[in-house]
Amino acid sequence: MNVLVPIANGSEEMEAVIIVDMLRRAGVGVTLAGDADIVTCSRGVRIIPDVVLEDLEDDTNFDAIILPGGAQGVSNLAANGQLESMVRRHRAAGRLTAAICAAPTILHDWQLLPSSATVTGHPSVQHVLDAYTFSFDRVVEDGQVITSRGAGTAFEFSLALIRRLMDTTIARRIAGDIVLYE
């Protein structure tokens, strides 16, 4: 399994790091791609991505693309035409797409969610996501789209991704390893 986690200046660092860390613990290959050599996240934490987003090959195929939130980061990711093109091809191929916090609005803005979709997201973007069936569940899986509420749900979101990309046994092992559940 190989996934893409794109980040941009203003991305929510907890979400990005928890997603990348949990997936790597599970043995998933993760490419953390940033909009710069050093990405300054929403709380001033600086992250050095594996690759600059513009250096990714346009034909790179990932098993999943996972979008972290953070208001400014989401705005910056949504404005990235290369990322939009990648996500459009990815969705058209029927591959897994996931978004947390404000990031489901990217899929809305790019018109990549069916009107019948059930989604969740941060309370600050609910008014945008009310165009669909909005759920208050912490993680929502609807076909090939997984959404989640915010930084406080990042572990549950990551475990849902691990279950989908790997299996339930690995997700349980990772949850136990980090003492998420006792």
Span 41-61, average pLDDT:
92
Pairing relation of β-strands 96-100 and 2-7? Answer: unpaired
Nearest-angstrom CA–CA distance, 63 and 52: 19
Domain boundaries, the chain: 2-177
* Fold classification of 2-177 (topology level): Rossmann fold (3.40.50)
pLDDT tens profile 93-132: 999 999 999 999 999 999 999 999 999 999 999 999 999 9
Tokens, residue 181: 């559940």
With cut-offs at 50, 70 and 90, classify the pLDDT of residue 159: very high
CA dihedral 27, 19, 29, 55 (to 10 degrees): -170
The pLDDT of residue 59 is: 67
Position 1 scores a pLDDT of 94
pLDDT at position 48 is: 98
Catalogue the active-site residues. 101, 122
> How far apart, in whole angstroms, are the C-alpha atoms of residue 1 and residue 24?
10
Q: What is the model's pLDDT at position 96?
A: 98
- Look up the pTM and report it: 0.97
Confidence (pLDDT) at 181? 80
What mean pLDDT do residues 145-150 have? 98
